[in-house]
Amino acid sequence: MKPTATFLSLALISLATFQTTLSSHSSPLTTLFLTLFALSLNYWLLPGGFAWRNYYYPKLSEKLIGPMGWPILGVLPYMGSLAHAKLAALATSLKAKRLMALSLGATPVVISSHPETAREILYGSSFSDRPIKESAQALMFERAIGFAPSGTYWRHLRRIASFHMFSPRRIQSLESLRQRVVDEMVKRTWNEVEEKGVVEVRGIFQEGSLCNILESVFGNTDKREELGDMVKEGYGLIAEFNLEDYFPLKFLDFYGVKRRCHKLAGKVSSVVGQIVEERKREGEFIGKNDFLSTLLSLPKEESLDDSDMLPILWEMIFRGTDTVAILLEWIMARMVLHQDIQMKARQEIDMCIGQNSHVRDSDIPNLPFLQAIVKEVLRLHPPGPLLSWARLAVHDVHVDKVLVPAGTTAMVNMWAISHDSTIWEDPWTFKPERFLKEDVSIMGSDLRLAPFGAGRRVCPGRALGLATVHLWLAQLLHRFIWLPAQQVDLSECLRLSLEMKTPLRCIVVPR
């Protein structure tokens, strides 16, 4: 493909002239270097960069827009802890919010920062699969709901999740567990205040989330410490940069990521497999409320063998632990910063349930301001702004009149959409009231704010996660007044999820 921009042609001509002039006064080695460099520009100085070097424009297709990036690397240097913000700024500067092409090494990528093209990607049948990193594949996630290829097996998993694991009836049946866990979180919060004078909420929320998900999955927390350590190790491995994810270098294990992932997967198989075998020996699955018993009690035509069951259980523990904890930390940071909003939420809770009662799931629909707070935090700090949104084009397809070739990774930058001033009034301001004026769904139907995804790959556990966050937040606000222990730092750090860079520390006053 030839560069289309005039300045690129001029750059090539100027470089060739410079090469000719310099070659008469320099060594053959210098001349060779300049010649190779000039030739490399044909694979680099083009819209989207190196990975789009073989792209062709069919008739009636619009032109690609995107940064050239670095030679060979493309925009990989951008993909750090602030990748979501840097790519949003890049799309704005290039006027490519609707669709921007870029290179992550040798991997061609398109990214949408607009609700309309986001809908085309997330709801389009052409993007039915997800690209899977080497680390995620080694950790068995290719056989789990999130990354399994679209097809009969994946549809079977989704059906099991929808009807047996995340149904409204199942979520309701787990309320007593959520109540018990938040009561323990309240006790631990007050114990930390008495011992240290301040509370670092991240540890409390992570511990509560881990206990909640382990008891939901297995019916107990017997392996809590062991599984918790494996979850932390897995987060670190998946978040670690690995050249194999962006270049065809599968025969090399740079940084030992694949080796460490296989080792961790072996430990997961051993521990989770032991739990499954013990449960099988116990028998009597029917009537128990945990997910493992549910899977073991499925009718024969729906049942899964152990090789499929282990990745599903591991995925639920892995993904179910961090999402709730991270979201709650962001919410409490906003509550500490905005005392007026915290007080208003507490008054709403008091009016709904009174001073001495426990908040219940059935109270949440009567707490619209509390729900608006959660929505506004999800707008400002979406948990998976980029990587959780990745899709893979299974065949050639047009998005917004631009041809996207098969094998292209497609992303949606939800952070960019939720901070767009053409979509949201005062997008950088924390204003939960905006969701009282307009009831915006966050379950995937409105692409202005879809923090859990949308379309066929939408997060199956989103309703359970929201039920947990709403109940725990209401209880924590009902029991304590939350004050800052130090200046609140809202700096973001994108790892597997969008986390607070600096852990939140609070002073709490019991009510």
- Check whether residue 172 and residue 25 sit in a common domain: no
CA angle 471, 474, 479 (to 5 degrees): 125
- Check whether residue 473 and residue 353 sit in a common domain: yes
> Would you list which residues are annotated within the binding site?
459
In this structure, what are the phi and psi dihedrals at residue 113, rounded to the nearest 5 degrees? -125, 35
Q: Is residue 80 a part of any domain in this protein?
A: no
Q: What pLDDT shows up at residue 37?
A: 55
Q: What pLDDT shows up at residue 62?
A: 86
Q: Is residue 273 a part of any domain in this protein?
A: yes
Q: With b meaning 16 or more CB within 10 Å and e meaning fewer, what string describes 122-157?
A: bebebbbbbbbbbbbebbbbebbbbbbebeeebeeb
Number of domains present in the structure of the chain: 2
Residue with tokens 């997060």: 459
Q: Is residue 473 a part of any domain in this protein?
A: yes
- Check whether residue 37 and residue 156 sit in a common domain: no
Q: Is residue 63 a part of any domain in this protein?
A: no
95 contacts 403 by C-beta, under 8 angstroms: no
pLDDT digits (tens, 9 = 90+) for 103-150: 999 999 999 999 999 999 999 999 999 998 888 888 888 889 988 999
Q: Is residue 326 a part of any domain in this protein?
A: yes
Average pLDDT of span 306-331: 93
Q: Is residue 247 a part of any domain in this protein?
A: yes
pLDDT digits (tens, 9 = 90+) for 20-78: 444 444 566 566 555 555 555 556 678 899 899 889 877 777 889 999 888 888 999 88
Residue with tokens 């063998």: 305
Q: What is the CA radius of gyration of the chain?
A: 25
Q: Distance between CA atoms of 372 and 293, rounded to whole angstroms?
A: 35
- Check whether residue 242 and residue 341 sit in a common domain: yes
- Check whether residue 341 and residue 477 sit in a common domain: yes
Q: What pLDDT shows up at residue 21?
A: 42
- Check whether residue 171 and residue 303 sit in a common domain: yes
Mean pLDDT taken over the chain:
88
Q: Which domain holds residue 413?
A: 134-510
Instruction: Find how far residue 406's CA is from the centre of its chain.
Output: 23
Q: Is residue 154 a part of any domain in this protein?
A: yes
> Would you list which residues are annotated within the binding site for heme?
459
Provide the 3-class DSSP secondary structure of residue 85. Answer: helix
pLDDT above 70 covers a percentage of the chain that reads 89
Q: Backbone dihedral region of 197: left (phi > 0), alpha (psi from -120 to 50 degrees) or beta? A: left
Q: Is residue 414 a part of any domain in this protein?
A: yes
**Which CATH number goes with the domain that contains 360?**
1.10.630.10
Q: Distance between CA atoms of 348 and 356, rounded to whole angstroms?
A: 14
Quick one: CA torsion of 77, 78, 82, 84, rounded to 10 degrees?
A: -150
Helix (H) or strand (E) holding 498: strand 498-500
- Check whether residue 31 and residue 142 sit in a common domain: no
The set of residues, in sequence order, having a beta carbon less than 8 Å from that of 330 and lying 6+ positions away, is: 377, 380, 381, 500
Q: With b meaning 16 or more CB within 10 Å and e meaning fewer, what string describes 405-418?
A: eeebbbbbbbbbbb
